[in-house]
Amino acid sequence: MTVLKDVSGGVALWRRIVDAIRLDIIGGKLAEGDRLPTEAALAERFSANRHTVRRALAVLADEGVVGAEQGRGTFVRSARRLSYPIGKRTRFSEGLAGQARMLTTQHLGDRLENANATVAAALGIRAGSKVVRLDALSSADGKPISRATTWLAYRRFPDVAQRVIGGQRMTAVFASYGINDYSRASTRISARHADVEETQLLGLAPGAILLVSEAVDVDSDGVPISYALSRFPAERMELVV
Amino acid sequence: MTVLKDVSGGVALWRRIVDAIRLDIIGGKLAEGDRLPTEAALAERFSANRHTVRRALAVLADEGVVGAEQGRGTFVRSARRLSYPIGKRTRFSEGLAGQARMLTTQHLGDRLENANATVAAALGIRAGSKVVRLDALSSADGKPISRATTWLAYRRFPDVAQRVIGGQRMTAVFASYGINDYSRASTRISARHADVEETQLLGLAPGAILLVSEAVDVDSDGVPISYALSRFPAERMELVV
DNA sequence: TCGCATTTGTGCGTATGTATT
DNA sequence: AAATACATACGCACAAATGCG
Q: What is the largest CA-CA distance in chain B?
A: 66
CA dist list (Å): B223 to B96, B152, B154? 26, 12, 15
Q: Determine the Cα–Cα distance for residues A10 and A213; give it in Å rounded to an integer.
A: 27
Closest partner CB to B187 (pick from A2, A193, A241): A241
Residue type, A163: R
CA dist list (Å): A32 to A35, A69, A81, A143, B175? 9, 15, 12, 19, 41
CA distance A166 to chain B (A): 31
Q: Is the CB of A47 under 7 A from strand C?
A: yes
Comparing every residue's Cα with the C1' atom of nucleotide D6, the nearest one is: A8
Through-space separation of residue A12 CA and nucleotide D12 C1' in angstroms: 29
Closest partner CB to A189 (pick from B5, B209, B238): B238
- Residue pair B46/B4 in contact by the 8 Å Cβ criterion: yes
What confidence tens digit (pLDDT) does each residue in A4-46 have?
A: 333 457 888 898 898 889 888 877 788 888 999 999 999 998 8
Q: What is the pTM of this model?
A: 0.86
Residue A193 near chain B (CB below 8 Å): yes
Contacts of B11 in chain A (CB under 8 A): 10-12, 15, 193, 206-207
Q: Where are the domains of chain A?
A: 7-76, 82-240
Closest partner CB to B15 (pick from A10, A205, A240): A10
- Which residues, in sequence order, are CB contacts of B26 under 8 Å at separation 6+? A190, B79, B81, B235
Q: Determine the Cα–Cα distance for residues A19 and A46; give it in Å rounded to an integer.
A: 12
What's the first-to-final CA gap in chain B, in angstroms? 29
- Map residue A151 onto helix, strand or coil: strand
What confidence tens digit (pLDDT) does each residue in B15-26 have?
A: 999 989 998 898
Q: Determine the Cα–Cα distance for residues A92 and A38; give it in Å rounded to an integer.
A: 41
Residue B7 near chain A (CB below 8 Å): yes
pLDDT at B4: 40
pLDDT at B47: 94
Through-space separation of residue B39 CA and nucleotide D20 C1' in angstroms: 21
Q: Determine the Cα–Cα distance for residues B46 and B18; give it in Å rounded to an integer.
A: 11
- Residue pair B95/B84 in contact by the 8 Å Cβ criterion: yes
Q: Is the CB of B2 under 7 A from strand D?
A: no
Number of CB pairs, chain A paired with chain B, less than 8 A apart: 139
Nucleotide at minimal C1' distance from the A46 CA? C19
Closest partner CB to B193 (pick from A19, A195, A205): A19
- Residue pair A23/B192 in contact by the 8 Å Cβ criterion: yes
What confidence tens digit (pLDDT) does each residue in A35-61 have?
A: 999 999 999 988 899 999 999 998 888
Q: Determine the Cα–Cα distance for residues A17 and A3; give it in Å rounded to an integer.
A: 10
Return the bridge partners of A150, or none.
Answer: A134, A228
Nucleotide at minimal C1' distance from the A49 CA? C20
Residue A169's CB is within 10 A of a number of other CB atoms, namely 14
CA dist list (Å): B232 to B97, B190, B191, B210? 17, 11, 9, 5
Through-space separation of residue B40 CA and nucleotide D12 C1' in angstroms: 14
Burial annotation B114-130 (CB, 10 A radius, 16+ → b, else e): ebeebbbebbebeeeee
Those nucleotides of strand C lying less than 7 Å from any protein Cβ are 6-12, 17-21
Q: Is the CB of B69 under 7 A from strand C?
A: yes
- Indicate yes or no: CB of B210 within 8 angstroms of CB of A191: yes
What confidence tens digit (pLDDT) does each residue in B101-118 have?
A: 888 999 999 999 999 988
Nearest CA in chain A to B86: A241
Q: Determine the Cα–Cα distance for residues A81 and A69; give it in Å rounded to an integer.
A: 24
Q: Cα A192–B138–A3 angle (5° rounding)?
A: 65
Q: Determine the Cα–Cα distance for residues B120 and B135; give it in Å rounded to an integer.
A: 18
Through-space separation of residue B11 CA and nucleotide C14 C1' in angstroms: 22
CATH 3.40.50.2300 for the B7-76 domain, yes or no? no
pLDDT at B8: 54
Kindly state the helix (H) or strand (E) to which residue B121 belongs, with its residue range.
Answer: helix B117-123
pLDDT of residue B5 exceeding 60, the answer is no
Return the bridge partners of B188, or none.
Answer: A240, B214
% of chain A surpassing 70 pLDDT: 97
- Indicate yes or no: CB of A241 within 8 angstroms of CB of B195: no
Q: Which of B240, B241, B237, B239 is nearest to B26 (CA)?
A: B237
Q: Is the CB of B24 under 7 A from strand C?
A: no
Of A13-22, B3-12, B71-80, B138-147, where does mean pLDDT reach its minimum?
A: B3-12
Closest partner CB to A192 (pick from B5, B23, B86): B23
Average pLDDT in the B135-143 region?
Answer: 92
Through-space separation of residue B47 CA and nucleotide D10 C1' in angstroms: 11
Burial annotation B185-203 (CB, 10 A radius, 16+ → b, else e): bebbbbbbbbbbebbebbe
Q: Is the CB of A49 under 7 A from strand C?
A: yes
Characterize the bridge pairing of strands A237-240 and A82-85: parallel
Through-space separation of residue A43 CA and nucleotide C19 C1' in angstroms: 12
Q: Determine the Cα–Cα distance for residues A143 and B123; give it in Å rounded to an integer.
A: 33
pLDDT at B7: 45
Q: Cα B206–B208–B214 angle (5° rounding)?
A: 125
Q: Determine the Cα–Cα distance for residues B24 and A85; give it in Å rounded to an integer.
A: 28
Return the bridge partners of B198, or none.
Answer: none
pLDDT of residue B1 exceeding 60, the answer is no
Query: In terms of DSSP H, where are the helices of chain A?
Result: 13-26, 39-45, 50-63, 92-96, 117-123, 160-165, 170-176, 196-201
pLDDT at B3: 38
- Indicate yes or no: CB of A240 within 8 angstroms of CB of B5: no
HSE, CB side, 13 Å, CA atoms: give it for residue A146: 28
Tell me which DSSP letter residue B100 carries: B
* Mean pLDDT (10-residue bins), chain A, 241 residues: 44 87 82 90 91 91 85 85 87 81 90 93 95 95 93 95 85 91 93 85 84 94 95 92 88
The architecture (CATH level 2) of B82-240 comes to 3-Layer(aba) Sandwich (3.40)
Burial annotation B207-229 (CB, 10 A radius, 16+ → b, else e): bbbbbbbbbbbbbeeeebbbbbb
